[in-house]
Amino acid sequence: AYVENQNKPRNEYKEIIDVGYSQLGSESAWRLANTRSIKEAAKDLGINLIYEDADQSQEKQIAAIRKFIDMKVDVIVISPVVDNGWNEILQEAKDAGIPVLLSDRKVEVEDDSLYSTYIGADFIEEGRRAMRWIKENVPAEEEAVNILEIQGTLEASPTVERKQGFEEILNNNSGYEIVYSKGGDYTYAGGKEVIEEYMKTHEWDIDAIFAHNDDMALGAIKALEAYEIEPGKDVKIVSVDGTRKAFEAMIEGKLNCVVECSPLLGPQLMKAIQDLMDGKELPLRIITDEKIYTQDEAKDVLSSRKY
Ligand code: GYE
């Protein structure tokens, strides 16, 4: 581990930084790309990454973080599955003198000094972009546009904020209504189940679907096809992430729009860790750059997609 030295910069000693990383799970294509990006960036920079996958369980994440504290790692990185319930464990890390960085998802804590920085996307803006696309492409006429929302993991920061941004635009435009909204845990199976459940209990009356990620949209597409509803045509679908599978679905005409959310956070994260260990100040928030894609561009863009 890195030992503070008064005179010489760290590199001259070639001290290896030990980073304990608690990844929340492997639930989606986005997540797999995110894990890959972080592992590769650590390797490139010679940072020792101790990786734990929590299988979407906060309990497992807390156990992993406690283990990292016992190991006396230099830095702890957390991608927190939900946004609440972190005060105590983050305080334990702080008391042990180990800085914590948040990657991808945020936490709600009483004391912001419990973490050094948060690196991730602007989820509120992603939600706004999704609803702007619906507003422009599914016009509200005499009857209201009925929207079915497939939320991600409940109480996860991207879920809360995508919903918030989406509703902000929706509430400023009359003629749009979220008639059904359920969580699908950001998985393919979860998205499929939300549609199946809807079908069992309702007459089909949906004009647009907002899925909080691609995997759930793809699961929903599968379910719709089994009911002979043509995804992308009978019902317009917009999702978030921009994975290759989503681009393929757009090319097939089954998905209408994806709002990009980049999982490639590894290089920025490792740079922040190095800066921190070099005693530099970190900005409290580091945002990634993103856009939206539609069916027209999907073919041209597919080959250059990195996840
Ligand atoms: O959109 C989804 C993943 O936290 C931004 O989590 C991330 C989300 C991403 O499972 O695919």
Q: Same structural domain for residues 256 and 149? A: yes
Q: Which two tokens stand for residue 53?
A: 């996958």
- Cβ–Cβ < 8 Å for 261, 287: no
Q: Output the pLDDT for position 286.
A: 80
Residue 3 in any domain: the answer is no
Residue 56 has pLDDT above 90, yes or no: yes
Same domain, yes or no: 112 and 18: yes
* Domain assignment of residue 58, yes or no: yes
pLDDT of residue 296: 93
ipTM of the shown complex: 0.99
Tokens 């359920």 identify what position? 182
Q: What is the pLDDT of residue 98?
A: 97
Residues 20 and 127 both lie in one domain: no
Q: Give the mutation target among 27, 31, 36, 153 for probing the ligand 1 site: most ligand atoms within 8 A of CB.
A: 31
Distance 298 CA to ligand 1 centre (A): 21
* % of the chain surpassing 90 pLDDT: 91
Instruction: Verify that 188 and 243 share a domain, yes or no.
Output: yes
Q: How many domains does the chain have?
A: 2
User: What distance in Å separates the CA atoms of residue 245 and residue 35, rounded to the nearest whole number?
Assistant: 18
pTM (2 d.p.): 0.94
Considering the domain architecture, whether residues 193 and 253 belong to the same structural domain is answered as yes
Residue-wise pLDDT tens digits, 122-156: 999 999 999 999 999 999 988 999 999 999 999 99
4 in any annotated domain: no
Looking at the fold, whether 221 and 146 belong to one and the same domain comes out as yes
CA of 211 to the centre of ligand 1 (A): 11
Centre of ligand 1 to C-alpha 157, Å, is: 10
User: Is 301 domain-assigned?
Assistant: no
Is 295 part of any domain?
no
Distance, CA 183 to ligand 1 centroid (Å)?
A: 13
Same domain, 128 and 108: no
Q: Residues 199-226: pLDDT tens digits?
A: 999 999 999 999 999 999 999 999 999 9
Flag whether pLDDT at 289 surpasses 80.
no
Per the prediction, the chain carries an average pLDDT of 94
Mark whether 253 and 139 lie in a shared domain: yes
Provide the CATH number for the domain around residue 186.
3.40.50.2300
**Where does the pLDDT of residue 83 fall: very low under 50, low under 70, confident under 90, or very high at 90 and above?**
very high
For residue 302, tell me if it sits in a domain: no
Please tell me the predicted confidence (pLDDT) of residue 9. Answer: 52
Tell me the residue ranges of DSSP E strands in the chain.
18-23, 48-53, 75-78, 100-103, 117-120, 145-151, 176-183, 208-211, 236-241, 257-260, 285-287, 292-294
CA distance linking residue 284 with residue 250, whole number of Å: 36
Contact 129, 103 (CB under 8 A): no
**Is residue 84 pLDDT above 60, yes or no?**
yes
For the chain, what percentages of helix, strand and coil (3-state, to nearest 5) are there? 45, 20, 35
Query: If you measure from the C-alpha of residue 193 to the centroid of ligand 1, how many angstroms do you get, rounded to a whole number?
Result: 18
Q: Same domain, yes or no, for 278 and 171? A: no
pLDDT recorded at residue 188: 98
Q: Which residues line ligand 1 (CB under 6 A)?
A: 27-28, 30-31, 104-105, 158, 186, 213, 240-241, 261
27, 28, 151, best to mutate for ligand 1 pocket (most atoms within 8 Å of CB): 28
Atom of ligand 1 lying closest to residue 214 CA: 11
Domain housing 24: 10-121+263-289
